[in-house]
Amino acid sequence: MNLIINNTRIYAGEFDFCTGGAGNDGLLDVILFTGQRDYLGRYLLSLRYYPRNIRKMANKLATASSHTQGGHIEIALSQAEAAQQDGEELPPGDRFDIRVVPRAIHIKTPAEP
């Protein structure tokens, strides 16, 4: 299983997992992958340089994965698991609390599509 929580439309500079996501909506995008096949398929089809219709195909084919949004995400696991934040490894944990802090920083970005 793999879980991505992102606050911008583009993840890791390369992947567009939720084409409707916006960095200025005050919500986190949560993408849950349920298996290796689901994970690899979505990664391969979600490269941001692909035409939008190919990325939309990734969303249609991803029936096993789910996408939701929220301003506050709490994760409770049955055992401690490894995690990373912005590419940096965190100590293994069984509870994670992720929140949006509205207007915490000012960022100039182009309009979201």
pLDDT tens digits for range 3-35: 888 888 778 778 877 766 777 788 888 888 888
Q: List, in sequence order, every residue forming a beta bridge with 11; answer none if it has no partner.
A: 15
Determine the Cα–Cα distance for residues 113 and 22; give it in Å rounded to an integer.
Answer: 8
Q: What is the pTM of this model?
A: 0.72
Interatomic CA distance for residues 39 and 46, integer angstroms = 11
Question: Domains of the chain, with CATH numbers?
Answer: 2-99 (2.60.200.40)
If one compares 65 and 98, the residue with the highest pLDDT of the two is 98
Per-residue tokens: 39? 């994970």
Amino acid at 42: R
